[in-house]
Structure formats: structure tokens, C-alpha cells
Amino acid sequence: MSPVDSLRRGLLGFARSLVFAVIAVVLFAAGSIQAGTILPGQYFLLDHPDGSSSPPPYGLRLDYLGITLSTELNGASTVLSWAGGTTATITGTLWNNQAAELWSVDYTLTGVSAAPANLGFSALAGSGTLTDASLNVITLTGLQDGSGSAFDFLADGYRLESHPSYGGSQAAVGRGWLTGTGTNDWLVLATPVPEPGTALLFGLGLVFLSGSSSRRT
């Protein structure tokens, strides 16, 4: 290997390490900004680990229909959107654990009031629909619990004491209640949808690393 090639390889290795470091710092900063807070924005909803006590995992349980639905299994993707106002939405797809198919959800929270110190929000009511793979529509209606809330989205680590690996007392948890016989409720974890700039940086880094790898072969 010539000295020029050695220098080029050394510089390329340094550049790759620098890209990794920058991506790691940006992603860490993006997550740290949200630690213990829930700011207006969009959040991916994930199955709460308590769902593992009655597997398969789920984020929505509907006893009156005899089903549980996952917010993340088999391609499901569910997003909570809140612009900071008096409404919020839960939209996307859910995996029906019993029917083994994707269903869509469109659920609107109303009477939303922000919690102090950017800890999240509570909603007085909720309504919407589930649509199955055959396009049959099921109505969802929120139900207030004893506190008068139909849905809470708070950075309080609700029911995570037995699951420390999923986050501490400041982890963002959503839970809501629905009408129907038996237990019918949302119970989900949440993680911010990456900002476009962060996603772009990550993508550019992967492109660079892929290109540099192909050039070495």
C-alpha cells in the first residue's frame, strides 16, 4: 500500500469516527431534551410492558370485543399528535393479536389541558374509530376515570416500577379508558418522533458511511 493510500485510509477512518460521534451526540441531545417532559409534537406509541403479563404485548385492550391490539408489532405504527391546544389525536395502525391483521385507528382527544411544567396533558373525552382489514368500522368512546380524565399523557413513569429497563419515573406514559364491559383501555409508552433535521443528519451519515465502505472494496 502506498503512503498516499495509507493517508487516505487514515483520513477516511477519522471521518467515519467523526460522523458516528456527531450522530450519537445529536440523537442523545434529542432524547435528553424530552427526558421528564412532554412538549407539543408527535410521539410514537409503544406497547407498555405491563401488557407482557398477558401476552402477546399490547397498547390497547378491548375486553368487550375480546381482543388486544399492539401499537408496534408486525408493522403497526401509531402516532399521538398534540400541537399544544385543546385537542390531540391518535392515528395509525394497530396489530390485532387475535385476528393476526393490521387495523387502523383514528381517535380524537378533546378537552385537553396541559399539565404544569411540561409534564404532559389530560383530556376530558375521547372518540373515534377502529377499522378492521375488511373495512368494518368499530366506534370507540372515551370513559372518564375517577379523576374525571378520559386520557392522561404524562411524564410520570406510570406502572413502570417493575420494569426499570423501560424508563424511570419521568418516562412518558399514555393511558385512557373506553366504554364497554370489562377492561377497555389504552396503556402505552411514548417516544418523540425525530425532528426532520435529526433524521436528515442520521440519513446523511448512513449514506456517507455506506459510500465510504463501498469505495474501500
- Pairing status of strand 67-70 against strand 137-141: unpaired
Cell of 179: 366504554
Question: What is the pLDDT averaged over residues 10-32?
Answer: 42
Specify the pLDDT at position 196.
Answer: 73
pLDDT at 19: 39
Cell numbers that stand for 55 in this block:
401476552
Residue 19: HSE in the Cβ half-sphere, 13 Å Cα cutoff: 19
Euclidean distance between CA atoms 116 and 43, whole angstroms: 19
Q: Is the pLDDT of residue 29 over 60?
A: no
SS3 assignment, position 77: coil
pLDDT tens digit sequence for 77-93: 999 999 999 999 999 99
Give the sign of the dihedral formed by CA 110, CA 30, CA 95, CA 156.
negative
Distances (CA, A) of 49 to 66, 158, 165, 207: 20, 11, 10, 34
pLDDT band at 177 (very low <50, low <70, confident <90, very high): very high
Rounded CA separation 80/91 (Å): 7
Q: Which of 193, 186, 185, 166 is nearest to 38 (CA)?
A: 193
Is 201 a residue whose pLDDT tops 50? no
Can you read off the three cell numbers belonging to residue 150?
Answer: 378520559
Query: Domain residues of the chain, as ranges?
Result: 3-31+197-216, 39-193
Indicate the pTM of the whole model.
0.76
Res 138 pLDDT > 80: yes
What would the grid cell of residue 69 be?
A: 391490539
Residue 28 has pLDDT above 70, yes or no: no
Give which of 86, 80, 52, 65 is closest to 176, Cα–Cα: 80
The residue length of the chain stands at 217
pLDDT at 212 over 70: no
User: For 91-104, what is each residue's pLDDT tens digit?
Assistant: 999 999 999 999 99
